A and B are shown apart, each in its own frame.
Chain A
Amino acid sequence: MEPVVQFENVRKSFGSFVAVENLNLNIERGKFVTLLGPSGCGKSTTLRMLGGFETPTSGRILLSGRDVTQVPPNRRNVNIVFQDYALFPHMTVAKNIAFGLELKGVDNRQIQKRVSELLELVQLQEFASRLPSELSGGQRQRVALMRALAPDPDVLLLDEPLSALDAKLRQTMQVELKAIQEQTGKTFMFVTHDQEEALTMSDTIVVMNNGRIEQMGDPATLYNRPGSAFVATFLGETNLLRSDVVGAEAGEAAVRWNGVTIKTSAGALSPKPGDAIYVVLRPEAIQCSAHEPSVANRVQGRIRQRVFKGNHTSLKVEIGDGHLLNALVHPSEVEGLSRDDIWVGWPSEATTLIPSRNAAS
């Protein structure tokens, strides 16, 4: 199937600052795609270019196969949910949602029908005649979403829409957003700097850094098999171990980190002895015990810090002299462990190798 959005060699610079560099990105219809990255990585510029509020310096943007690079925002079939909602303060909820439909020339009866359908979708029927100022943050969020969905856009763009909400509401809205996306079958392009939001909702995550795509894939792949040190550290907590390859054969590799030999699967890489390499080891893959465990990698250490967090305990374990590993374990695992003499271990599949030239970025 033809992708709904295609960025072809898109570049955008503001003076000497390059916001987006040579972007090539295809978005499949009906997917929840998240652009994830730190502020200034070019994700918002990418969204604004698709919305029509910025014109690429070079390259093309295709929407449903049509070149929209030079088309103004009011004449392209995408709608945005703005960061602070941008609801029209003088219009009721129903009027806000109807705005886009009225401009499309939809007849009144159909507008009313569509507005009440959309209000029902987010259970705001009885708020139709309220003003935005009389709604809570979460309700405004839902109205903004429905207003953008009302004209039936090819792609719905969401510009960090959850950032103004408190933590609890944000989680509720994540689930709700995903449910609405699945229910409506719309293509959602979501922009955020929050890795948790990205992991929770997305079919595909596009990690951006310095105006370029670092890595793109489904959440599990990105989390478990990061392709660069940036992705590994940006998505979740991680131990990034700078190591030297000491041996490699048949998809397996042995590396040396801080005097400890680590057995790891080589993945798609073919490391050669002598190469410098990064090992990505997620804290939750580490097990702790009083006796030597029977996993491929095991090493003795001392607990330097122990923080009880309810459903898990966060540990800093010192290996050798002064090198720390972060570990997340179940609280019962560390009950009664002595601080100064424990074993930590992890299976060889739990680690990912990243070539060190990428590690530098």
Chain B
Amino acid sequence: MRAVFLDWPGLALKSFYWLFVLYLFLPLSLMVAVSFKDASFISFPLGNLTIDWYAKVIQDKQFLDACLYTIMIAAATTAIATVIGVWIAMLIGSLRGAAQYVAFAVACLPAVVPGMISAISLRIFITTIDLPTGTVAIILGHVVHAVPFVVVMVLTRLRSMPGNLVDAARDLGADSIVTFFRVTLPYLGPAIFGGMIFCLLLSSDDFVRTFFLGGYRPTLPMLIFARVQSGMSPEINVMATLVLVVTAVVGLYAEYLTRRSRIR
């Protein structure tokens, strides 16, 4: 016969987990559900379902332009932040003792400085050097924010690298540059890839920095914000749903790839 007593702690552990899952997914699923609603206002019950809103959003020039602009900024941010991040990680990896901790702390600082503070200081900075707000300024802001995430991911991988791989490459005739490109960089590959995905997501999701540093052309978060200001409609749900699906797919795919290479 099974035990008759109830496992209270175990039950509590499980129920709180499921409550959390509910809390996480309920608002999201409502948002997704309403994006299929056959009416121009948000209310319940849903009534008839339609994909008209999707058709409308996909033909929305402003939306498409904002998507393109967001992707462009995210791509530039990722490219620049990855190079700087790997560079800094290699430097920190070669340092010893206190210098290593100091360099690491400085590199991580942008990740913990509040977005608002970072944005205002950059705004003041670009004004001082006469740089106009807009694309370059946004990228500048996003890169500063993204670099620490690349550094941390790459450095973690770098520290798991057997030291004698570099020795072996040197021993077989590679100078330090060849060793970096043919041995170290491929070894860091999965971490760099993960860091790049992180950069893409951070940049395309950023609102505060973009708001302070941007010009008249809106990125996707800014466009959605502007639309919400002028009233909720299922169109916004459609945009949000699309963003949710794309980022979830990208994130999960990246996780799958890095996990696979970690197992190796």
A residues within 8 Å of B by Cβ? 51-53, 72-75, 78-80, 82-84, 86-91, 99-100, 103-104, 131, 133, 147-148, 151
Q: In residues 161-192 of chain B, which contact A (Cβ within 8 Å)?
A: 162, 164-165, 167-175, 178, 182-183, 186-187, 189
Bound-state CA distance A51–B167 (Å) is 10
B159 within 8 A of A: no
**A74 and B162 form a contact (CB under 8 A):** no
A86 near B162 with CB under 8 A, answer yes
Question: Chain A residues with Cβ under 8 A from B164's Cβ?
Answer: 82-84, 86
In the complex, the answer to whether B170 meets A74 with C-beta atoms within 8 Å is yes
Assess the B264–A151 pair: CB atoms within 8 A. no
Contacts of B165 in A (CB 8 A): 86, 88-89
Find A89's partner among B171, B174, B182, B264 (CB 8 Å cutoff).
B264
A-B contact pairs, 5 of them (CB 8 A): A53-B170, A86-B162, A88-B186, A91-B186, A147-B172
C-alpha spacing A121/B20, complex, angstroms: 60
> A73 contacts which chain B residues (CB < 8 A)?
167, 170-171
Q: Which residues of B contact A79 (CB under 8 A)?
A: 171-172
Taking CB atoms, residues of chain A closer than 8 Å to B264 are: 89, 131, 133
Report B's interface with A, CB cutoff 8 A: 162, 164-165, 167-175, 178, 182-183, 186-187, 189, 264
Closest to B167 in A: A53
Flag if B171 contacts A74 (CB, 8 Å). Answer: yes
Most buried by B among A72, A73, A147, A148: A73
Q: Could you tell me the distance in whole angstroms from the C-beta of A154 to the nearest C-beta in chain B?
A: 13
Do B168 and A74 have beta carbons less than 8 Å apart?
A: no
Q: Quote the shortest CB–CB distance from A84 to chain B (angstroms).
A: 7
- Tell me which residues across on chain A come within 8 A of B162, comparing CB atoms: 84, 86
- Contacts of B189 on A, CB cut-off 8 Å? 90
Complex alpha-carbon distance, A84 and B168, angstroms: 11
Query: What residue in chain A is nearest B185 (Cβ atoms)?
Result: A90
CA distance A80 to B183 in the complex (A): 17
Q: Which residue of B lies closest to A73 (CB)?
A: B170
Q: What are the 4 tightest A-B residue pairs by CB atom distance, in nearest-first order?
A: A100-B172, A103-B173, A86-B168, A86-B164
CA distance A82 to B187 in the complex (A): 18
Least distance between A115 CB and chain B CB atoms (Å):
14
Contact status B183-A103, CB under 8 Å = no
Q: Looking across the interface, which residue of chain B has its beta carbon closest to that of A75?
A: B173
- If A84-B164, A89-B187, A131-B264 touch, does A72 touch B172 (CB 8 Å cutoff)? no
Closest-by-CB residue of B relative to A103 is B173
The answer to whether B167 touches A74 (Cβ under 8 A) is no
Contact (Cβ within 8 A) A86 B174: no
Question: Which residues of chain A are near B170, meaning CB under 8 Å?
Answer: 52-53, 72-74
Known interface pairs A84-B162, A89-B264. Does A103 touch B186 (Cβ–Cβ under 8 Å)? no
**Cβ contact within 8 Å between A104 and B173:** yes
**Residues A151 and B167 in contact, CB atoms below 8 Å apart:** no
Given A74-B172, A82-B168, 16 extra CB contacts under 8 A: A52-B170, A74-B173, A78-B171, A80-B168, A84-B164, A86-B168, A87-B168, A88-B186, A89-B264, A90-B186, A99-B174, A100-B172, A103-B173, A103-B178, A131-B264, A151-B172
Docked Cα-Cα span, A90 to B181, in Å, equals: 12
- The answer to whether B167 touches A86, judged by C-beta atoms less than 8 angstroms apart, is yes
Tell me, rounded to whole Å, the shortest Cβ–Cβ distance linking B139 to chain A. 31
CB distance from B5 to the nearest CB of A (A): 48
Question: What is the CA–CA distance of A338 and B167 in the complex, to the nearest angstrom?
Answer: 61
Nearest-CB residue, chain B, relative to A132: B264
How many Å from the CB of A86 to the closest CB on chain B? 4
Chain B residues closer than 8 Å to A82, beta-carbon distance? 164, 167-168
Are A80 and B171 in contact, with the CB atoms below 8 A?
yes
On whether the beta carbons of B187 and A74 are closer than 8 Å, the reply is no
The residue that A99 contacts in the complex, of B167, B169, B186, B187, with Cβ under 8 A, is: B169
Given the complex, which residues of B lie within 8 Å of A87, measured CB to CB?
168
Considering residues B171, B175, B189, which has the most beta carbons from chain A within 10 angstroms of its beta carbon? Answer: B171
In the complex, what distance in Å separates the CA atom of A73 from the CA atom of B182? Answer: 17
